[in-house]
Amino acid sequence: MKTVLVTGATRGIGLACVVRLLARGLRVLALGRDFTRLAPVIEAHGDCCIAVPFDLRRVGEIAVLLRTYPRVDVLVNNAAMLTAQPFETYSVVERRDLLAVNLEAPAELARVLLPAMLAQPVDAQGVRGRIVNVASVAAFGGHPDIWYGASKGALVNLTKSLAQAYGRQGILVNACAPGPTRTDMFDRLPESRIREFEARVLAGRFAEPDEVAQVIEWLALDAPPYVNGATIDVTSGAYLR
């Protein structure tokens, strides 16, 4: 049984990913802080869904944490922070926390997990391991929360860099870039940002978490090896590039 680690797994897109990946027969390590919403899923799936309580701001403790869990075949870096505050009001601590969760933790998780992935034999597709980073349309078009947008742009670049570094060794590293999605984070977006996307979304509505999770599921399990270093937009045409 393959094992997937999903960060930010306790709500929104992460929770939708957990449900989908469990349905595909994977063991899921669900990393998060508040497991209230995920508890019924864990109870229903027993040892196939393992809660991993952890605060990703503690980047330096990630390596020690993962020693106690099964080898990971697929990493889904979904967790993110959004403060939705003006650039000039950010404190040093708030900036460091956001960059730790949105950029440093995904990089450290990849660094810690890659050796075990690389030690695995290739599967039928010639793949040893997969990493999926959940970026954002903010990576390309800017964002009112300037540090959030900057962190997501850097995450896209991390995706490309890791693919270049490890793609020849059988590691697929891709990202998806959702537009506004009906999650708790959506509720913190400025009204101006919401109206801006309402005028541009072709579907006439914002995405549901499961729609983004479907793309992540494909990248995590089904995307062919020729899809590597890519970022898949999930924006219903709200941002075309």
Q: Output the CA torsion sign for 22, 26, 27, 30.
A: negative
Residue 239 falls in the annotated catalytic set: no
- Distance, in Å, from the CA atom of 162 to the CA atom of 118, rounded to the nearest integer, reads 13
Q: According to DSSP H, which parts of the chain are helical?
A: 12-23, 39-45, 62-66, 92-99, 105-118, 138-141, 146-166, 191-198, 209-217
Long-range contacts of 150-158 (CB under 8 A, 24+ apart): 151/80, 151/98, 151/99, 151/102, 151/103, 152/80, 152/102, 152/177, 154/103, 155/77, 155/102, 155/103, 155/106, 156/231, 158/103, 158/106, 158/107, 158/110, 158/133
From 90, 148, 166, 226, the catalytic residue:
148
Residue pair 132/87 in contact (Cβ under 8 Å)? The answer is: no
* Residue 77 β-bridge partners: 133
φ, ψ (nearest 5 deg) of residue 128: -100, -35
- Cα separation values, 104 from 57, 101, 166, 184, 240, Å: 9, 6, 18, 22, 28
- The set of catalytic residues is 148
